[in-house]
A and B are shown apart, each in its own frame.
Chain A
Amino acid sequence: MLRFAVRRLLLLVPILVGLSILVFLFVRALPGGPETALLGENATPQRTAQVREAYGLDRPLPEQYLRYVGQAVQLDFGTSTRYRTPVVDEIQRRFPATIELGVSAMAFAVGVGVPLGFVAARRRGTWIDNLSTAGSLLGIAIPVFVLGFLLKAVFAVELGWLPVAGRQDQQQFFGADHPTGFFVLDGLLTGDLPAAWDAAKHLVLPAIALGTIPLAFITRITRAAVLEVVEADFVRTAEAKGMTRRVVTRRHVLRNAMLPVITIIGLQTGLLLSGAILTENVFAIQGMGQLMAGAIADRDYAVLQGGILFLAVVFVLVNLLVDLSYGLFDPRVRESG
């Protein structure tokens, strides 16, 4: 198990080296540099030179790259040309918003999808099964931003049940304490329950918008996995031994059916990052997606270089965690290590 984890982490090294070169070249290939974004098209050559020097952009490319890598391994990604703050601070400020969104979307998807898929399989052919199958086919086909937009139009703008945008009511909770950056958690930690409730309400529509595609996949896979497992010999044996249906379900059916479901959860978690960029845009959530989209528009080299690398590491680590979690459900994986 440990050897497997270490090997997977080592595989990350060549990917990161390749990615760092790619990202480095990419940001420099973008038309118009940060000096144009900062100073506008009509900047004097002197000012332009000053800015380029201040951010080290006047140095030869290999030197710039080596310095970037040297600093990156110390978690120093330089200074954002747009916000004039260290990139690490900016990531630290934005990343919790994206995590909060992703986790609540996944919680929605798993919390609804697994029971729904299970019930659909157990009541195969009934209206519940047909409805969930049709719903999951439709759910996969609805793009995140279309669903988010329609949810916003109906539940926030038309009905006014839920907030339209942002993470928290800025007027009511201005200057609220944020020790962790996760707004719901912060409200609970500081004992400010109205703030936590408000933050949670802001998450509902974005989480549904982002979580619907994973929900559809998880429902389908759970249904298929349960259908396959209930026909397995060991389930018949367990039932023949006189085990109650509940014990058989919990110990044999669910546990074995969870393996493909975890695979799908892992695959979907990776895709969540893409969806989060759009969801954050629809609901004006200041997370990583908005940061990166803004950085491309503003030619914010440092934020792009640091952010893409950071997201790639997160992405690979999530996939690693998913692979490791197989061991929790499957002793065969645990023992083969």
Chain B
Amino acid sequence: MSLSQVEAADTALEHPEEASAGLTRDAFRRLRRNPLAIVGASLITVFVLVALFAPLLAPYDPVASDLTDIRPGQFPGPSREHLLGLDEQGRDELSRLIYGARYSLLIGVVSTAMGATVGLLLGLLAGAFGGWVDSLVMRAMDVMLAVPGLLLAIGVAALLGRSITSIMIAVAVVNVPVFARLLRSSMLVQGRSDYVLSTRSLGVKRRKIVLGHVLPNSLAPVIVQATLVLATAIVEAAGLAYLGLGSEDPRIPEWGRMLAVTNAYLSSEPLLALWPGLAIVLSVLGFYLLGEALREALDPKLRR
């Protein structure tokens, strides 16, 4: 190999990273200018802080119940001691909401991470090997996608029994095909690009091309998707809890279940339905707005 060839190879190898670093910086600058990204990031920050510092923020123990003031179908509303009133078991509603953030965040993050890990591994297998591996993996994903997502999640949750862990797994399973498909198609696009062709023509090993170039360059849509999936994971987890598939321990303050429980008191205590509903919407909105803003920032086509 002559010196000029080596140099050419070096530039070809350096080029994608250089470009992607520039793109990342660009994207971050665009992100900071987008008011929706700021709103989304703020909502997420508040949500995470509340979850982290729940023991400091909550005025009462979220599971301690005091039935002295509770009459059937009538509970003390907001007061100076209990800002959002008491629930049907005489527990402080605000404290339960604050602790509920922990469960929502935990379930959302863990299930997204699990779904993304398995999905990305499958997508990597399919995208890197192609051929029958690709066919096999993708047909399996098709089968999973042919079942309505929530039904799949309900099924998995039923299979594993009622617990927080099974909700996490159920939500993760639904998202596996999403990540697998995304990474695969993103890798296919990258695989056909000129820089891969030039790297391959320089004799770089296939494994190095896939892991060193194609994979890192295929990750941008995955990051966007992960943020959006976090939003849907929180919704799905709350939905499963709402349907009664969450933890068997009724004391656990989970927003979806808190909402479902108020069904019986809707006519006398409608506000108790509003708070958990609002909490779910705001946390979901945060991840959703940030995800959308990220998508806009990373997609050059949307630059305007």
How many residues of B sit at the interface, in one of the four size bands? 35 or more
Q: CB-CB < 8 A to A293: which residues of B?
A: 154, 243
**Residue B239 contacts which of A145, A152, A154 (CB distance < 8 angstroms)?**
A145
Binary interface profile of B, 273-287, with partner A (CB < 8 Å = 1, else 0)? 110010011001100
Q: CB-CB < 8 A to A158: which residues of B?
A: 267, 270
Bound-complex Cα distance A158 to B281 (A): 22
**Residue A150 contacts which of B238, B274, B288 (CB distance < 8 angstroms)?**
B274
Bound-complex Cα distance A26 to B173 (A): 14
B148 at the interface (CB under 8 A from A): yes
A-B contact count (CB 8 A): 113
A22 at the interface (CB under 8 A from B): yes
Bound-complex Cα distance A152 to B289 (A): 27
Q: CB-CB < 8 A to B36: which residues of A?
A: 137
Whether the pair B147, A150 counts as a contact (CB closer than 8 A) is no
Whether the pair A146, B161 counts as a contact (CB closer than 8 A) is no
Bound-complex Cα distance A274 to B238 (A): 14
B195 at the interface (CB under 8 A from A): no
A296-B158 CB under 8 A given contacts A15-B146, A311-B147? yes
Bound-complex Cα distance A251 to B113 (A): 47
Whether the pair A153, B151 counts as a contact (CB closer than 8 A) is no
A308 at the interface (CB under 8 A from B): yes
Binary interface profile of B, 143-175, with partner A (CB < 8 Å = 1, else 0)? 100111111001100110100000000000000
9 interchain pairs, CB-CB under 8 A: A137-B289, A141-B281, A145-B259, A154-B270, A158-B267, A277-B151, A278-B239, A278-B243, A297-B158
**Chain B residues at the A interface, C-beta cutoff of 8 Å:** 36, 139-140, 142-143, 146-151, 154-155, 158-159, 161, 231, 235, 238-239, 242-243, 256, 259, 263, 266-267, 270, 273-274, 277, 280-281, 284-285, 288-289, 292
Across the A-B interface, give the 9 residue pairs with the lowest CB-CB distance, nearest first: A274-B150, A273-B148, A141-B285, A18-B143, A312-B146, A146-B277, A143-B235, A296-B158, A274-B148
**Chain A residues at the B interface, C-beta cutoff of 8 Å:** 14-15, 18-19, 22, 26, 29-31, 137-138, 140-146, 149-150, 152-154, 157-158, 270-271, 273-275, 277-278, 281, 292-293, 296-297, 308, 311-312, 315-316
